[in-house]
Structure 1
């Protein structure tokens, strides 16, 4: 449904819930993501950051990335702004020096925001950006940035997620099939699972220069494996529920078969004998000077 606040024209295609439980999951996901990447701002971006930089976080959700960056860099040193298509997960009392507002990255950029940011950060927009909209998003992000400004866009290749064993003969069939079914149904609905791997070329086609990609394993820090797997399984359950709602409460995801598959996958994970692993990519590039 499109927002009616006068600023968002494109529909809100993000399918997961925005309740307190999902906010807690997002915050945990962020902590695990940060630990495995080892940074908030990519070192190449951080090294080029001017004093008094204007930093934007698009798809900010709970704002946790922005809040932690402000704590790390100093709230007074830069200006920090979080944007999302919905305000429902914004902090109820934002820390001093941080601002949050509604913005849809697929809408035309407001004139007063053109070429005003030094850094634009995004993470995990795969469920919010339908197929064939990613280049439009990149063109709009390019407009937000000053000449020489940086884009840092992080995604995970959940479509190729691996289910790995901690011990011989551990069952993983249900988890493999759950992911396979979710990705297939998502592609049929026009979700941008394939665009994740195409993002560097999409950014280049939109006008970004010197596009580079770093790839980290979600298990780079081995102690995070189990918690990361739990966070991912919760997200997969949310995606299944999203498909169920899209089908009007009927169809495959409302069936006993789908419910049994989800339950079996959850049991495989809770046994501690398997874990989920994904590649975490960081695409970073500049608006040409």
Structure 2
């Protein structure tokens, strides 16, 4: 029997990306590219008090919080990051007094002390982490974190509209096409477009979703980020035992680089969903 050559079997395997220094560099690059592409850290329609209490959930190395601090968007805000693994975050001795990091496994209930404590909760890129049964409880936990009237901003990928983009349709792109098919995996992550419905079902109000594509001048740059991410994914896939698929992914990345030089890129649009906990 031939092993499946897609990513449908990795659900339930946890976080399959790495947590080393290279992975932290990927997170940092990813953050600044997202900021450039969408044009903001906090969606402009969201109005927050100067002394807002802000949470970044699944914060990784904390780059979103650090940039929010450096940008002085909310100079008096209390900024808290949450993640199950804080090994990539800065040591507490290196942080300003209004930034703290806290351990929290998003698949478990929040500590009672955090319930109703935040004016704003930010989430980004859980597409590889949340499987079907885990999504509803996670959204309910986000709701609990917020104060009445508080805002949620969820930045996510739109894998449903993932596509290969070319400067000329006549250019052959077998490697990039295959990587797209592996990552798409028959639409396994199309659920991200249902985030507004998930939020509404959990009691959120004023839910809206905005879509962001790749500006032409950033298309190649985002492609390099995707290749870096897929390379990490290949390592994670190998750890789950799917070594044949992992080797294939690595080979395709090398071939796709030649195609990128000729004007072929992988595009994965982004969405930003904003919602509010009713007063």
**TM-score (norm. length: structure 1):** 0.86
1-structure distance, mates of 2:95, 2:107: 25
Match of 1:33 in 2: 34
* 1:12-66: CA deviation from partner (whole Å, max 9, x where unpaired): 8111001111111111111111011110000111xx2013110000111111111
2-structure distance, mates of 1:115, 1:223: 42
Question: Is 2:251 the counterpart of 1:252?
Answer: no
Q: 1:118 to 1:12 in 2, by over 3 A?
A: farther
1-structure distance, mates of 2:243, 2:226: 24
2-structure distance, mates of 1:146, 1:19: 35
Match of 1:131 in 2: 132
3-state SS in 2 of match to 1:132: helix
2-structure distance, mates of 1:70, 1:162: 35
Contact 2:124 2:154 in 1 (8 A): yes
Larger mean CA deviation between 172-181 and 32-41 belongs to 172-181
3-state SS in 2 of match to 1:215: strand
Match of 2:61 in 1: 62
2-structure distance, mates of 1:195, 1:73: 34
Shift of 1:227: 1.3
Contact 2:164 2:180 in 1 (8 A): no
Larger mean CA deviation between 66-75 and 144-153 belongs to 66-75
- The aligned length equals 266
Question: Is 2:156 the counterpart of 1:155?
Answer: yes
1:266 to 246, 250, 257: 257
Question: Is 2:235 the counterpart of 1:241?
Answer: yes
Contact 1:182 1:240 in 2 (8 A): no
1-structure distance, mates of 2:273, 2:128: 18
Match of 2:196 in 1: 200
Shift of 1:203: 1.0
Contact 2:213 2:268 in 1 (8 A): yes
Shift of 1:260: 3.2
2-structure distance, mates of 1:264, 1:281: 29
Q: How does 1:206-225 map to 2 (within 5 A)?
A: 206-219=202-215, 222-225=216-219
* 1:195-238: CA deviation from partner (whole Å, max 9, x where unpaired): 2111111111111111100111122xx32221111001111121
Shift of 1:76: 4.3
1-structure distance, mates of 2:244, 2:39: 42
Q: 1:182 to 1:279 in 2, by over 3 A?
A: closer
Shift of 1:156: 0.9
2-structure distance, mates of 1:201, 1:59: 21
Contact 2:52 2:74 in 1 (8 A): no
2-structure distance, mates of 1:76, 1:69: 9
Q: 1:276 to 1:252 in 2, by over 3 A?
A: closer
Match of 2:87 in 1: 88
Contact 1:156 1:281 in 2 (8 A): yes
Shift of 1:264: 1.6
Contact 2:117 2:147 in 1 (8 A): yes
Q: 1:158 to 1:236 in 2, by over 3 A?
A: farther
Larger mean CA deviation between 144-153 and 21-30 belongs to 21-30
For the aligned residues, what is the CA RMSD? Answer: 2.0
Match of 1:108 in 2: 109
2-structure distance, mates of 1:112, 1:97: 18
